[in-house]
Amino acid sequence: MEPYEYGVFPMKDALELVLIFEQSGKILYANTEAEKNLEYQGNLCGRKISDIFPGAFKEEEGRVVTDYPFGREPHKLIAYRKNLTCFPVRARIIEAEGREGTYICMANVIVEEESLGREVIQRKQEAEQALKVKSEFVANVTHELRTPVNGILGHVRELSEKETDEAKLRTLQVIERCCGNMNRIINNILDFSKLEAGKFVLEPRRFHVRDMLDYVRSNHINKITEKGLDFFMTVSPQVPEYIVGDELRIVQILNNLLSNALKFTSVGKITLEVFKTAQVGGKVELFFIVIDSGIGIEEGDQGKLFQSFSQVDASISRKYGGTGLGLNICKQLVELMGGRIGMESQKDKGSVFSFSIWAQADGAQTEEDEDFGEETFVEGFPLSGLTLLDEAGDALKQYGTRENREALHKNLSKLILCVEMENWEKAEMFMDTIRGLCEGAPREVGRVVLRLKMAVQKENYEKTAAGVEELKTFLEFDEE
Ligand code: ADP
């Protein structure tokens, strides 16, 4: 009997097993796939559906009884072959349209699906094992690397204490800085591999927020002023005195953002701002913003910043160093603390990095805190990052403005100081900044800047000093 007689689409060559049977359980039709899988050698018709699915259909007094839930929803059944071996199927059994008492069973063999499932589980276990081996390897290697680096660091510090020769002391300081950089990279790799393996655990404890911020400030302030930059920090009065959170990791995120701000800014200022943006019960959302007036990031490059090993371009990594892991680690840490990280930037204007975290507020609350009800979200906040950039950058980089002249004076003094100390490498750095500040200046100023740059490159003290003086007279003249 052909299936079209039942008013259904042709099912002879269907990929699923098709059986049509009547109320008595007698099979009226079996398609090729059913014949092949059930191995009845073309003799399925006339058999009972209870022979095929004995678990679901029983013969009782010449009728089949079943509690199988008929309908389009598939259910798992065990199908038996003629030789009584069996295999699982996912089957739908429906009553044939216009043929009361006639049923169509459509079944998919799930042996493959199950073995696929087993394979997926096996692959997952293998991947987990590989990740575990990798994490252990990374942990071992980083530990092995840390030991000699710390050994060198200890000896260098000891030698520095005794050394009186200026040149040798400078070399020792360079070695110490290199060891510090190496340790930072080792820590980043270790954190990254732990976060990747899902093994990173936060360690929350009670701490004083403003003390923590002062500590972060003290980590960077020397380098910031050394570079001739200004630093501003504002903490909103609504930020609680104490919170319960992972202080070490918050410090790590802030350190990373501030080091980047410092690394990529040669003139202007760096600002750190902290606000309380929401409170739900005893939990507060703190919002941190780091703003710089540095080189900025092209819009097309902004999307890849938080990916691992991502740096904007090769020339930047050559010039500024780094592994491209820092921001990815920050993102993962922020997300572990229930927050989000984001950035806004404009090429040659600067960048604004911001992140939020949720933490338990602890200890005495300020008056403002008490004003907050059960669930509060601070309105009208935060300010647009790009507005902040406009305030920070525009006037400074425009030749002749008050901000620009002040920055030029500052950098010329730093340049001459470096030259007097014969630190030509650093002098070149200030020279780059001075050139940037003089962009758009009149031709005669541009010519002096070029002569000054060549003098610095040739490490010529007299010509550098003369160039600095000449440039200063232009500035004073412009001021009048
Ligand atoms: P790295 O250790 O290389 O600095 P990060 O993940 O911290 O790695 O930063 C990735 C890249 O993002 C940097 O190499 C740089 O190109 C860009 N970047 C990060 N912060 C700033 C910033 N404040 N100004 C300009 N570029 C930045």
**234 token code pair:** 């504002």
Specify the range with the lowest mean pLDDT, choosing from 61-65, 212-216, 321-325, 373-377. 373-377
Does residue 385 have its Cβ closer than 6 Å to ligand 1?
no
10 Å Cβ neighbour count for 388? 21
Are residues 59 and 186 part of one domain? Answer: no
Per-residue pLDDT tens for 52-85?
999 889 888 777 788 888 888 888 888 999 888 8
Range of the domain at 457: 395-479
- 230 and 344, same domain (yes or no): yes
- Please tell me the pTM assigned to this model: 0.59
**Residues 345 and 435 reside in one and the same domain:** no
The rounded Å distance from CA 305 to ligand 1 centre is 7
Residue at which a domain ends, from 134, 162, 196: 196
- List Cβ neighbours of 74 (8 Å cut-off, separation of 6 or more): 90, 91, 92, 108
Q: Both 400 and 351 in a single domain? A: no
- Whether the CB of 330 sits within 6 Å of ligand 1: no
Distance 154 CA to ligand 1 centre (A): 30
Domain boundary among 388, 410, 441: 388
Let me know if residue 166 belongs to a domain.
Answer: yes
Q: Which of 290, 289, 284 is nearest to 357 (CA)?
A: 284
Is there a single domain that holds both residue 102 and residue 143?
no
Does the CB atom of residue 295 touch ligand 1 within 6 A? yes
**Rounded-to-integer distance, Cα 480 and Cα 251, Å:** 46
Residues 73 and 129 in one domain: no
Q: How confident is the model at residue 432 (pLDDT cuts 50, 70, 90)?
A: confident
pLDDT band, very low/low/confident/very high, at 372 (cuts 50, 70, 90): very low
My answer on whether 377 and 417 are in the same domain is: no
Contact 294 CB / ligand 1 (< 6 Å): yes
260 and 219 in a common domain? yes
Ligand 1 near 346 CB (within 6 A): no
How many domains does the structure of the chain reveal? 4
pLDDT of residue 316: 55
Among protein residues, the one with the nearest Cα to ligand 1's atom 11 is 311
Q: Is the pLDDT of residue 164 over 60?
A: yes
CA of 222 to the centre of ligand 1 (A): 21
Measured CA to CA, the distance from residue 432 to residue 254 in angstroms comes to 27
Residue 115, in any domain of the structure: no
| Ligand 1 midpoint to CA 311 (Å) | 6
pLDDT at site 475: 80
- Predicted confidence at residue 126, as pLDDT, reads 86
Task: Compute the distance from residue 327 Cα to the ligand 1 centre, in Å.
Answer: 7
CATH of the domain at 182: 1.10.287
State the amino acid at position 156 in one-letter form: V
Are 187 and 74 members of one domain?
A: no
> Do 417 and 475 belong to one domain?
yes
Residues in the chain: 480
Does the pLDDT value for residue 6 go beyond 50?
Answer: no
Both 220 and 289 in a single domain? yes
CATH code where residue 93 lies: 3.30.450.20
